């Protein structure tokens, strides 16, 4: 057996540089754990002329992916270049040339995971992707290995650092969404195009991956109900605090006898909930198992070295499998067919904020609609506005199914006394 495992690196951006840094700085520890040396032989880059200070000989760089995917001397391909369609083609080429894969690409795994896993099995290759969800938090390995003997019934968490940073700043400083978003972009916490983050798509992809693993069910991104934080009002954050809650963008995956529901949406959490203390760019995932009960995994959700740490940990796992001769055996096809929870079986509490015309009978009209759909309330606050003839109402319901609540909301919008329904959020925790 060779005393050296050779690696091909696809991409040399921030995370790629972090992978090289860790492999060099932790070389002795890594070699001791796996019993061999690790050598980066080739690195795919976009611009061969760009000067890079990452300690890689330019002679090992290439702008042709085939130099990496088809090199018979390369054992493992590490993908940190991002992208979906083109990257999928490159990784399929690598797998078909018997390369093991380590990736941090959540978009790719969420969209093409099934095809990549199947190809890896057919070629007896490993496919690892720990860094695709929650950066440096080992949540995927925990679900696949640490909690494999349990039956997971619910997962919820903060899985996008950008939106959590924005909401933290809004809460602590009272700044509006647009101001904090601009600041986050200037500091590098948010991309120039923040769509994927603030509209909840990034978190939805991560929840798709976690749900497939946690529930052993072939779910897709299209199965996730998504609502982001774009334009979220500072008023909602302040009113949530008055009601005893904290507002966070939460991914929630729930599995019971009625089926599975997966969502990403702004959610009110009780102030004593563990996730309310997760601030700035940090991530946390809360997992409930029938046997173990509640567990929470917390840590940096992004960043050069946290993400690179997860990648190198996957690389170490692959190398151990190579030396044991057990590659390609780790992936297990989903056990259950897809079963999505119908709306009438999805029970949640709801927060509403609306502006109404202050006139006799206004509350009675609203109460009659909610009574018709058997919806009761946990809290109601009525406040004056700058317009004397208007009032602002904040309401938190008791548990109600999505179907009944949706119909009540439609009827509510038809009332002449309701000027606008400004916010509708999910509420987790507290009394049902």
List the beta strands (DSSP E) in 201-303: 224-226, 245-256, 259-270, 282-289, 293-300
Please, which contacts does 272-280 make with residues 24 or more away whose CB atoms are closer than 8 Å?
Answer: 273/246, 273/428, 273/429, 275/156, 275/157, 275/158, 275/248, 275/250, 276/246, 276/248, 278/158, 278/164, 278/248, 279/164, 279/168, 280/161, 280/164, 280/165, 280/168
* Number of Cβ within a 10 Å radius of residue 1: 7
How far apart are alpha carbons 44 and 402 in whole angstroms? Answer: 48
| Tokens (6 digits) for 415 | 């009332």
CA distances to 106, 133, 181 from 193, rounded to whole Å, are 18, 20, 11
How far apart are alpha carbons 269 and 275 in whole angstroms? Answer: 8
Contact yes or no for 243/118 (Cβ under 8 A): no
How far apart are alpha carbons 414 and 423 in whole angstroms? Answer: 16
How far apart are alpha carbons 227 and 248 in whole angstroms? Answer: 12
The upper half-sphere exposure of residue 132, i.e. CA atoms within 13 Å in the direction of its Cβ, equals: 30
Question: 38: Cβ–Cβ under 8 A, 6 or more apart, which residues?
Answer: 4, 5, 7, 23, 27, 30, 31, 315, 319
* Number of Cβ within a 10 Å radius of residue 391: 20
Residue entry with tokens 């929630």: 252
**What does DSSP assign to residue 60?**
G
Cα angle: 127, vertex 130, 136; to 5 degrees: 155
Contact yes or no for 200/153 (Cβ under 8 A): no
How far apart are alpha carbons 404 and 347 in whole angstroms? Answer: 10
Active site residues: 206
Partner residues linked to 262 by β-bridges: 224, 253
């Amino acid at each position: 057996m060779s005393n050296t495992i050779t690696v091909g690196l696809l991409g040399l951006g921030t995370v790629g540089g972090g992978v090289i840094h860790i492999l060099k700085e932790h070389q002795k520890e890594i070699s001791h754990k796996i019993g061999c040396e690790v050598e980066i032989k080739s690195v795919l880059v976009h611009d061969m002329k760009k000067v890079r200070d990452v300690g890689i000989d330019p002679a090992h760089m290439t702008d042709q992916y085939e130099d990496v995917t088809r090199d018979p001397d390369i054992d493992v391909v590490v993908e940190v270049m991002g992208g979906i369609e083109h990257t999928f083609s490159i990784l399929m080429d690598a797998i078909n040339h018997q390369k093991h894969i380590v990736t941090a690409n959540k978009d790719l795994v969420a969209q093409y995971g099934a095809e990549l896993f199947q190809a890896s099995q057919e070629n007896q290759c490993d496919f690892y992707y720990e860094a695709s969800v929650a950066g440096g938090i080992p949540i995927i390995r925990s679900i696949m290995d640490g909690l494999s003997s349990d039956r997971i019934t619910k997962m919820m968490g903060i899985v996008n650092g950008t939106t959590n940073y924005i909401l933290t700043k809004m809460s602590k400083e009272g700044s509006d969404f647009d101001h904090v978003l601009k600041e986050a972009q200037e500091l590098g916490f948010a991309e120039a195009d923040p769509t994927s983050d603030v509209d909840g798509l990034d978190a939805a992809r991560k929840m798709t991956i976690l749900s497939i693993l946690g529930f052993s069910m072939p779910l897709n991104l299209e199965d996730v109900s998504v609502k982001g934080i774009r334009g979220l009002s500072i008023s909602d954050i302040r009113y949530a605090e008055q009601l005893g809650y904290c507002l966070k963008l939460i991914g929630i995956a729930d599995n019971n006898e009625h089926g599975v529901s997966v969502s990403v949406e702004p959610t009110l959490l009780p102030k004593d909930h563990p996730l309310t203390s997760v601030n700035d760019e940090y991530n946390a995932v809360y997992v409930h198992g029938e046997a173990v009960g509640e567990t929470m995994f917390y840590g940096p959700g992004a960043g050069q070295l946290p993400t690179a740490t997860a990648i190198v940990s996957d690389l170490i796992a692959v190398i151990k499998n190579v030396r044991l001769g057990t590659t390609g055996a780790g992936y297990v096809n989903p056990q259950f067919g897809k079963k999505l929870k119908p709306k009438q079986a999805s029970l949640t509490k709801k927060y509403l904020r609306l502006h109404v015309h202050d006139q006799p009978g206004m509350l009675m009209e609203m109460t009659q609609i909610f009574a018709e759909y058997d919806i009761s309330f946990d809290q109601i606050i009525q406040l004056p506005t700058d317009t004397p003839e208007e009032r602002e109402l904040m309401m938190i319901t008791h548990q109600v199914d999505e179907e009944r609540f949706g119909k009540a909301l439609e009827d509510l919008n038809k009332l002449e006394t309701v000027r606008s329904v400004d916010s509708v959020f999910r509420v987790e925790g507290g009394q049902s």
